[in-house]
Amino acid sequence: MKHVFLLLLCAMPLAASPLEDANLVDVQTVEELPVFVSLRYATPNNFTGKPIYNTGTACYLHKEAVEGLKKAVALAAEQEEPFTFCLWDCYRPASAQKKLWTAKPNPNYVAPPKKGSRHSRGMSVDLIPCDFNGTPLKMPTDFDNFTPRAHMDYQKLPKDVLKNRETLKKIMTQAGFTYTRTEWWHFDKTGWKNKPLLDIPLETEN
Ligand SMILES: [Zn+2]
């Protein structure tokens, strides 16, 4: 009898994780996404000087954003000088957003927790173009640079940097993302408004 019960248990489908239930996918499990993941908020290497979440290298995005990213990766691979992307931030639980707001309570740069970040909908991605060894291409600034130099329309930049930023903007737009005026690295997948703000914790890597 005990064996029958165990067999039944084994035959039952595995329960989906809350992240899967919310249609969030770890981009590193997607074959068509040969991207690099370097989550700055999982390390002290971000503007707060502290890790904001502990997720190792798991980068979750809503499956609609994943589809968009696949298109962007394919377009980047078709360029005269092909490249891929290094991902700096993906899905960000609402609790992590609160920590960012506490560190920089300025709505020009950090979404107030009440409004919520589009990253908490799994529809936004922060990224930098990089070569196939994971070395970033020349871009205007580092991540989370809160100066005009990070603005999408800032022009006082070397020609190659301007070209790289324009190529990134064009590719992401073609792939179904909109860009942000103040942060060249941030893109929102269209349809983000229809997705809920989530506070599912990221699985920790211990
Ligand atoms: Zn962002």
**Domain annotation for the chain: domains and CATH numbers:** 38-194 (3.30.1380.10)
For residue 92, the CA-to-ligand 1 centroid distance in Å is: 9
Range 62-89 average pLDDT: 97
Phi and psi angles of residue 129, each rounded to the nearest 5 degrees, phi first: -65, 145
For residue 9, the CA-to-ligand 1 centroid distance in Å is: 42
CA 2 to each of CA 5, 9, 85: distance values in angstroms, whole numbers, following the listed order: 5, 11, 51
Tell me the average pLDDT of the chain.
Answer: 90
For residue 119, the CA-to-ligand 1 centroid distance in Å is: 6
Q: What percent of the chain has pLDDT over 70?
A: 91
Decide: helix, strand or coil at residue 89: strand
Token output for 161 = 């940097």
**Which range among 45-49, 101-105, 172-176 has the greatest average pLDDT?**
172-176
Range 43-47 average pLDDT: 91
| DSSP sequence for 110-174 | S--TTT--GGGGT-EEEEEEE-TTSPBPP-SS-TT--SGGGSTT---S-HHHHHHHHHHHHHHHH
Q: Is the pLDDT of residue 1 over 70?
A: no
Q: Given pLDDT bands bounded at 50, 70 and 90, which one contains residue 205?
A: very low
- Enumerate the active-site residues: 183
Q: What's the CA angle centered on 17, arms 175 and 54, to 5 degrees? A: 75
For residue 69, the CA-to-ligand 1 centroid distance in Å is: 15
